[in-house]
Amino acid sequence: MNLSQRTYLIITGASRGIGREFAQQLSGRIQSQGSVVTLLGRNLPLLQEAKEHILAKSPLLTVHTYSLELATAKAGDFAKILEDSTGNGSFERAIVIHNAGTIGDTSKRAREIGDTDILQNYFHTNVFSCMSLNSQFMQVFRNVQKLIVNLSTLAAIAPISSMGYYCSVKAAREMFFRVLALEETAPDTLVLNYAPGMIDTQMTVQVQQEAHDPAIVALFRDQRESKTMLTAAQTTKRFIEVLEAQKFKSGDHVDYRDADL
Ligand SMILES: NC(=O)c1ccc[n+]([C@@H]2O[C@H](COP(=O)([O-])OP(=O)(O)OC[C@H]3O[C@@H](n4cnc5c(N)ncnc54)[C@H](OP(=O)(O)O)[C@@H]3O)[C@@H](O)[C@H]2O)c1
């Protein structure tokens, strides 16, 4: 993967956690003049902070930030952001990192999940908005080499107690991107479902505080206390190694722990 090409990079959930670290480390690799980085999230001050960090290390980049609520975002919102941030630029590669995600209410057992208003909001945040952004991205970068990354998880391919909401959206998202990979031609469109491992972020703190299953709470607490939980920086470094080694096939699920480098 040649990250020194003139690149357009867009990342959702770039204000904190894994998304912010992906934005910072990937931007550090994209040095070509005319490259653009677009950061999405709701918290504009944090996005602005991430932008300043990136520009301090990579002053040649153009960095855009947009505050967007994914629970209600529509195709038109993504179209506008892409139009505004691409400007008149011409790019040799376009990358979208579908990173934003929420864990859902882990205090609920699967048998208690059924409020359609809550489900609508949750699926819009985690699945519909991601598909919508992707579709706009595919249109705008029709004739450009594309890398599409979905932040996946073990929970997309294995059931985990307390994670009825989360497992459902992550499985849906992963399957969607596998279909996309099947229909599009690699390497023009390369799709990767990357599972980052268990990372010390707000998401895992929330699981530890709210999960109804004591075994899950203990698992997260033990990893955090023993410092075996990974950092966002560690998983991002591994992700970049996976990209550089490029031993995955388009649509593959690659986990931090068993990445073929
Ligand atoms: N942490 C882990 O152990 C782990 C493991 C496997 C997979 N993952 C996946 O990795 C991704 C990032 O997780 P993380 O741990 O970094 O989570 P995090 O620290 O909670 O960060 C989530 C990001 O998503 C954004 N976001 C959340 N709700 C949003 C909404 N309604 N609209 C717009 N943006 C929203 C947040 O930005 P704002 O608050 O600014 O909106 C934030 O930047 C997720 O897809 C997650 O499923 C994480």
* Residue 221, domain member (yes or no): no
Looking up residue 185, the CATH number of its domain turns out to be: 3.40.50.720
* Residue 206, domain member (yes or no): no
CA trace torsion 66, 76, 26, 7 (10° rounding): -120
> What gap in Å lies between CA 14 and CA 151, rounded to an integer?
12
What is the residue range of 240's domain?
7-201+232-254
pLDDT above 90: residue 184? yes
Span 7-36, pLDDT tens digits: 999 999 999 999 999 999 999 999 789 999
Span 36-80, pLDDT tens digits: 999 999 999 999 999 999 999 999 999 999 999 999 999 999 999
Q: Which amino acid is at 187?
A: P
The domain total for the chain is: 1
For ligand 1, say whether the CB of 201 is within 6 Å of any of its atoms. Answer: yes
Q: What is the mean predicted confidence (pLDDT) over 108-129?
A: 98
Q: What is the mean predicted confidence (pLDDT) over 109-134?
A: 98
Bridge partners, 62 (sequence order):
36
For ligand 1, say whether the CB of 98 is within 6 Å of any of its atoms. Answer: no
Per-residue model confidence (pLDDT) at position 259: 82
For ligand 1, say whether the CB of 65 is within 6 Å of any of its atoms. Answer: no
Q: Which of 203, 221, 254 gets mutated to test ligand 1 (max ligand atoms within 8 A of its CB)? A: 203
Residue with tokens 């497992």: 167
pLDDT above 90: residue 2? no
* Residue 17, domain member (yes or no): yes
pLDDT above 90: residue 167? yes
Per-residue model confidence (pLDDT) at position 233: 98
